[in-house]
Amino acid sequence: MKQPQTAALVVALVVAIPAGVGAASAPARSAQTRTVRIHDIGFHSSRLVIQRGDSVRWKFVDPEVSHNVTSRGHTRFRSSPTRLTGSHRVRFTRRGTYRYVCTIHPNMRGSVVVR
């Protein structure tokens, strides 16, 4: 008589636990890639807020004007060369505020906040 009861309890737990966990935690979120367009001698948008594991892709689409993405400040990421076309992609794995500039146009500034 004892064994069937134990088996029923095990079955009940196996069924109940996944449902409970799913309800209590946030839904799974897959990593995203956000795009910053470089044109009109600016970064658009100049401030991004992303989650750890996400990537940022800077697209160089300013006709006839070359730019770069150069990391500045305490928290650094891989900078890009100066270029006219193409893109530069960086995956951010650590929290922090990452500031960057275009060294050719010092008024071109941006930041990526990783939460």
The answer to whether 115 touches 50, Cβ cutoff 8 Å, is yes
Q: By CB under 5 A, tell whether 101 contacts Cu ion.
A: no
Task: Tell me, residue by residue from 2 to 31, as one string, x for binding to Cu ion by CB under 5 A and - for no binding.
Answer: ------------------------------
Q: What is the closest distance, in whole angstroms, from the C-beta atom of residue 69 to Cu ion in the complex?
A: 9
| 104 touches Cu ion by CB under 5 A | yes
Cβ-contact 82, 68 below 8 angstroms: yes
For residues 56 and 102, which CB has a smaller minimum distance to Cu ion in the complex? 102
- Assess 102 for contact with Cu ion (CB under 5 A): yes
Cα dist from 94 to 28, 31, 36, 64, 79, whole Å: 19, 13, 19, 35, 16
Sign of CA dihedral 49, 103, 90, 34: positive
Positions touching Cu ion (CB under 5 A) are: 67, 102, 104-105, 108
